Structure 1
Amino acid sequence: MEEEEQLRSFMFLMTYMLLKRRRDLNNANTQRRSEIQRRIRHRQYFFQRQRRMLMMMIAGGIRSNARIRTRPWTTTQSTDWWERVVMTEFQPSDWLNKFRMSRETFFYLCDKLRPRLTRQDTSFRLALPVEKRVAVALWRLASNVEYRTISTLFGVGKSTVCRCVRDMCHAIVALLSSIYLRPPSEQELEDSAQLFLSKWGFPHCVAAISTLHTAIITPSNNASDYTNPTGWLSVLSQVAVSGRGQFWDVCASFPGGTDPADIFQNSSLWATAADGGLSPAPPPTFMGKPLRYVLLGDACYPLQSWLMKAYPGEKGRRASHTALTEPQRLFNRRLARALRVSEEALLRLRARWQCLSKRNDCGLDVVPTMILACCILHNMCESHGDAFKAEWQVEVAEAESPQPGHKQFPSTSTDQSHAEEARKLFCDFFEEQSN
């Protein structure tokens, strides 16, 4: 019995010592891991501090060597440029010049896109805030500068800049199309018709159809299809512009060599207009007769009872073209004047978002979405009343290649007789006005 008691006491003592040893080892491991993590954080802190000081010294050296007084943010290339400079020092003119919109519109856009652009932090890095992602993408759309330049400016990788542009363009199309790029309501149709009459002198019209060529790099396949009539590579888009100079309908992604009439005749806009969807029912009266609201188009489009185009011109008269009467010439002049609404809208679009006026080096899978996003942003800025600077327009008009012209559509149509009657009504209207 005594030996058993001694053995039990010995076993208890050994068990206690083993447990104590294990606890000491665990505590030592925990302390060692904490010390390692503390040293890592300490080294990261000093590394970031040294990097920041080095960049400040480099920026200071550049400024001293150049010996010119510049705004502090022009040479800042650190990761805190966005938080320290843009968010605190940018003036209203800076927001307008760099992001092509006011500060209020910028944050409105961020709130609208937040559901699609918010990213979660990972164990390796912090996610970019939505505001910074939008700013990176807008800088690219507004300036069309290289990803490398934007990467240095915002302190992010070039691949991050590329993702920001893609993600924002897709988010804009997905979330804002229903607000800023949608079919017009009946009241908007009436308002547009009033604007065409009061501002452009053309009655009973709700929109003008036009085309936009966006220069691109040489595609890997079918490069000849993208050669437009002027000889350079482009993506062709069709737009419908209201009397307010805003886009109602946009068809993008077509090769530059595509015939605009083919795009239009296969678009949803053609089907809607042909079915009377751009006019109230019953049709309003014009010159004593019921006539649906019309669209205006260039010579490359087919004449329809709801689509007005100019009479074949007298420049270099062909044998098949008879001399125009005075009412017909007057009609052509009024039509050319009204078509300026689409010309000016496209010029403002390219001036505000210069990724559409300069050669776009993005892939063909991104360019159509970028065009749609820019049209939506144009409508948003115009609706919010953001200022537009005339110098943007002058820069684009002087620097870009002229938009290509297109061949005239043949004077044949299944609706030719009704179309000629409708065009004659407009001739009569302008003749009465001139008398």
Structure 2
Amino acid sequence: MENDEQLRSVMFLLTYLLLKRRRDINNVNIQTRHEIQRRIRHRQYFLQRQRRMLMMLIAEGIHSSVRIRTRPWTTTPSSDWWERVVMTEFQPSDWLDKFRMSRETFFYLCEKLRPRLARQDTSFRLALPVEKRVAVALWRLASNIEYRTISSLFGVGKSTVCRCVRDMCHAIVALLSCTYLQPPNEQELEDSARLFESYWGFPHCVAAIATLHTAIITPSNNALDYANPAGWLSVLSQVAVSGRGHFWDVCASFPGGTDPAEILQNSSLWATASEGGLSPAQPPSFMGRAMRYVMLGEACYPLQSWLMKAFPEERSRRKNHAALTERQQVFNQQLHRALRVSEEALLRLRARWQCLSKRNDCRLDVVPTMILACCILHNMCESHGDAFKTEWQVEVAETESPQPDHRPLTSASMDDRNSEEVRGLFCDYFEQQGNDFTQ
């Protein structure tokens, strides 16, 4: 009797397990069948969409071939604006106005960036040509207009415009920095020193250091750190400009409220200059002694034996402090005149690439790369001799906020002890030049 009960229990359990296994197999089969049907519908949808797009392109091509063109290129439909107008009808002035460079420089840039920007076609869409990707990004850098406007103009999505800008800026920094943004060699140092003396009237100088504020949207974190002395939010960059107006060194990505002296002291430029890297192995002679080349800086920077700044003029307004001597005033005048090389270079930079002169609404992690890319493009255009239109400067001067003035250092603890002696040599030089002129 007990054996019969155990046998029935075992039979019941086996029956239950078999039924459960059959149910599980049926569920898997149903799910597999549904997944196959979903994939078939998905593929049919894309095939129909691709067929519709092909028919639209054929119809547009037939319509364009028989249409009489009666409107200017600025109102041409975006479907063929790039291929039919830009690539075939743009004049040299159009290339400068829209892309801020000549046609030759544009295609040179495309070839240099091709290894990083080229994309493969897929089954569902054709990849954008490198030339069109570069054109989309340059249009954004040059005008700073909305992604939506560029999207309609080139017939691409807004996300594609954003990707083109980001990818091109990263490609420029990765591929062209070693060519257009690198420390100078001895010949370039000599050429820059010659230009500073002949054109700007300051001898034995190879570069000027300046700051650039780029307006940004309110960041999600630490917004107060980005408020500059003028009160608006910005990213602060430090640049070193040669006598030709080219950028030798660029430090970007700092909040607008950062002290420029701190940026300089923590930069590779400080280490290079302190170790004599901006002078030949055998320093040239100046005022009868061997002395390394110097750079010029704004009043917010510390005085160093290799970095000259103006004598503080505010001490002449304080009580118990003597006014500046005549030779000190002459030195300040000559230094301010020579600092115009950095002012003009930054003005040309912002005028050519207006994404730096207007408020930049890109993400904060993209802005520093964009600044570096614009500096490299500036050097490339200047090296290739591309024309620069003065109306660009007028447009920037009318629209942008004035660059903030940084307060001079109130403490002399950061100044080098030997710097006053070097600055005195320059005072002697200008005094001697003045005496020679009067005689």
TM-score exceeds 0.5: yes
Gaps of 5+ in 1: 1-35, 64-69
Q: Deviation of residue 349 (structure 1)? A: 0.0
Tell me if structure 1 keeps the 8 A contact 2:213–2:256. Answer: yes
Matches within 5 A, 1:70-81: 72-81=72-81
Q: Deviation of residue 285 (structure 1)? A: 1.3
Q: Which amino acid aligns with 1:123?
A: S
2:57 aligns with 48
1:221 aligns with 221
For 1:37 and 1:373, locate their aligned partners in 2 and report how far apart those are by CA, in whole Å.
38
2:202 aligns with 202
Q: Deviation of residue 313 (structure 1)? A: 1.0
Q: Deviation of residue 262 (structure 1)? A: 0.4
Over residues 141-190 of structure 1, what are the superposed CA-to-partner deviations in whole Å (9 max), with x where a residue is unaligned? 00000000000000000000000000000000000000000000011001
Over residues 168-223 of structure 1, what are the superposed CA-to-partner deviations in whole Å (9 max), with x where a residue is unaligned? 00000000000000000011001000000000000000000000000000000000
Q: Deviation of residue 42 (structure 1)? A: 6.4
Tell me if structure 2 keeps the 8 A contact 1:249–1:269. Answer: yes
- SS in structure 2 at match of 1:80: helix
For 1:39 and 1:396, locate their aligned partners in 2 and report how far apart those are by CA, in whole Å.
49
Tell me if structure 1 keeps the 8 A contact 2:302–2:414. Answer: no
Tell me if structure 1 keeps the 8 A contact 2:210–2:238. Answer: yes
Matches within 5 A, 1:227-242: 227-242=227-242
- How many aligned residue pairs are there? 391
Comparing 189-198 with 402-411, greater Cα deviation is found at: 402-411
- The alignment status of 1:368 with 2:368, answered yes or no, reads yes
Q: Which amino acid aligns with 1:213?
A: H
Tell me if structure 2 keeps the 8 A contact 1:151–1:161. Answer: yes
- SS in structure 2 at match of 1:79: helix
Matches within 5 A, 1:326-341: 326-341=326-341
- The alignment status of 1:136 with 2:136, answered yes or no, reads yes
Q: Deviation of residue 79 (structure 1)? A: 2.3
Gaps of 5+ in 2: 1-44
Over residues 95-135 of structure 1, what are the superposed CA-to-partner deviations in whole Å (9 max), with x where a residue is unaligned? 00000000000000000000000000011100000000000
1:96 aligns with 96
Distance 1:281 1:414, change over 3 A: farther
Comparing 282-291 with 218-227, greater Cα deviation is found at: 282-291
Q: Deviation of residue 280 (structure 1)? A: 1.1
Tell me if structure 1 keeps the 8 A contact 2:315–2:321. Answer: no
1:3 aligns with none
2:10 aligns with none
- SS in structure 2 at match of 1:369: helix
Q: Deviation of residue 37 (structure 1)? A: 11
Over residues 391-429 of structure 1, what are the superposed CA-to-partner deviations in whole Å (9 max), with x where a residue is unaligned? 000110111000000010135246533100000000000
Q: Deviation of residue 361 (structure 1)? A: 0.1
For 1:192 and 1:140, locate their aligned partners in 2 and report how far apart those are by CA, in whole Å.
32
For 1:39 and 1:285, locate their aligned partners in 2 and report how far apart those are by CA, in whole Å.
78
2:127 aligns with 127
For 1:321 and 1:101, locate their aligned partners in 2 and report how far apart those are by CA, in whole Å.
52
Q: Deviation of residue 41 (structure 1)? A: 7.2
Tell me if structure 2 keeps the 8 A contact 1:77–1:154. Answer: no
- SS in structure 2 at match of 1:151: helix
1:26 aligns with none
Q: Deviation of residue 55 (structure 1)? A: 10
For 2:211 and 2:193, locate their aligned partners in 1 and report how far apart those are by CA, in whole Å.
21
Tell me if structure 2 keeps the 8 A contact 1:236–1:253. Answer: yes
Tell me if structure 2 keeps the 8 A contact 1:205–1:293. Answer: yes
For 1:38 and 1:227, locate their aligned partners in 2 and report how far apart those are by CA, in whole Å.
53
Distance 1:389 1:39, change over 3 A: closer
Q: Which amino acid aligns with 1:87?
A: M
1:4 aligns with none
For 2:134 and 2:334, locate their aligned partners in 1 and report how far apart those are by CA, in whole Å.
42
- SS in structure 2 at match of 1:193: helix
Distance 1:168 1:328, change over 3 A: same
2:347 aligns with 347
Q: Deviation of residue 350 (structure 1)? A: 0.1
**Identity percentage of aligned residues:** 78
Over residues 264-287 of structure 1, what are the superposed CA-to-partner deviations in whole Å (9 max), with x where a residue is unaligned? 010000000000000112221110
Matches within 5 A, 1:142-221: 142-221=142-221
Q: Deviation of residue 40 (structure 1)? A: 7.9
Comparing 280-289 with 392-401, greater Cα deviation is found at: 280-289
